[in-house]
Amino acid sequence: MKQKKLLYTGKAKSVYRTDAKGTLIVEFRDDITAFDGGKKDTLKNKGSYNAGVSAFFFSYLEKNGVKTHFLEMLDENRMAVRELSMIPLEVIVRNFAAGSIVRNYPFVEGSPLKPPVIVIDYKDDSRHDPMLNDELIVALKLATPTELKKIKTIALKINTLLVGLLAKEGITLVDFKLEFGRQNKTIYLGDEISMDSMRLWDKKTGESLDKDVYRFNKGDVMATYNRVAARITRAPKTASAGKKAKSSKKPEKRTR
């Protein structure tokens, strides 16, 4: 597959056309940003850690019946994906109170949210990603009521799968953000699931294993990303209740 013209450069990824119709390349760059782009850096190998973890999760989810845009890894930073018409929603699933939900509401940091709380924000940096509700999403024609219901069901299924997988590695999935898109009328999970889009805590030590290390200068960001990527991608993909998973398949290896 040949990489063609650059379609879009985001804060951490670049998206390219390819010579294959309906297939794009997502390149995970080494750029890292926080606070609406207010803090920015370039950290060597960061892109490959996030790409590897995303690819691992996407293939795990596919095996468990979740439709994702992931096709294959082309190298350590580049992923071939299904071209989607992206729905400008940030679908956030929260299992424990942390981050903005603690700043904005009277939740105590670290308290469990059972059942998990889904928060959906409007993906629009110029408006600082304001929170939506179901009626606003439909009124803005961002998704139909049926699509919205489907998106929430898929998000909760992904949550169950990832909570289980990460727990086996001693990691708590505190919260994470998903983006969905359409190809024809089918909804696919797009974008990434990485240390940039999840909040992860070590079950034993409570230590942050995600972008909070960068946001709040909690330590060596790349050492954390390196360690957590290795830890996640060695989790056996057959760990969940997923019936479709083949027990003979070896977990994907990371080279770094």
Q: Are 245 and 236 in contact (CB under 8 A)?
A: no
> Where does 110-144 have alpha helices with state H?
134-139
Residues 6+ apart with CB under 8 A from 192: 13, 26, 28, 50, 54
Cα angle vertex 86, ends 80, 16, to 5°?
Answer: 35
Task: Pick one of 47, 52, 116, 190: the residue that binds ligand ATP (CB under 6 A).
Answer: 190
Minimum distance, C-beta of residue 20 to ligand ATP, in the bound complex (Å): 13
Quick one: which of 10, 110, 112, 145 contacts ligand ATP (CB under 6 A)? 10
Site for ligand ATP in 109-148 (CB under 6 A): 125
d(CA 166, CA 147): 28
230 in Cβ contact with 53 (< 8 Å): no
Residue closer to ligand ATP (CB basis): 86 or 167: 86
| Alpha-carbon gap, residue 203 to 229, rounded angstroms | 16
Compute the residue count for the chain. 256
Binding marks (x or -) toward ligand ATP, 65..104, rule CB under 6 A?
Answer: ----x-----------xxxx-x------------------
Interacting stretch for ligand ATP, rule CB under 6 A, among 11-19, 161-169, 202-210, 222-230?
Answer: 11-19
Supply the minimum distance, in Å, between the C-beta of residue 251 and ligand ATP.
24
- The answer to whether 137 and 148 have CB atoms below 8 angstroms apart is yes
Query: How crowded is the C-beta side of 92, counted as CA atoms within 13 Å?
Result: 25
- Could you say whether residue 13 binds ligand ATP (CB under 6 A)? yes
Of the pair 18, 240, the CB lying nearest ligand ATP is at: 18
Which CB, 169 or 179, lies closer to ligand ATP? 179
Q: Which stretch binds ligand ATP (CB under 6 A): 3-11, 94-102, 146-154, 212-220?
A: 3-11
Among 3, 11, 207, 215, binds ligand ATP (CB under 6 A): 11
Do the beta carbons of residue 109 and residue 102 sit within 8 Å?
Answer: yes
State which residue, 26 or 148, has the beta carbon closest to ligand ATP. Answer: 26
| Minimum CB distance to ligand ATP smaller for 8 or for 216 | 8
216 binds ligand ATP, rule: CB under 6 A:
no
Instruction: Select from 47, 52, 116, 181 the one that contacts ligand ATP (CB under 6 A).
Output: 181
Tell me the C-alpha to C-alpha distance, in Å, between residue 188 and each of 13, 77, 138, 147: 19, 21, 19, 11
Residues 6+ apart with CB under 8 A from 94: 101, 113, 116, 117, 118, 119, 174, 175
24 binds ligand ATP (CB under 6 A): yes
Binding site for ligand ATP (CB under 6 A): 8, 10-13, 15, 24, 26, 69, 81-84, 86, 125, 179, 181, 190-191
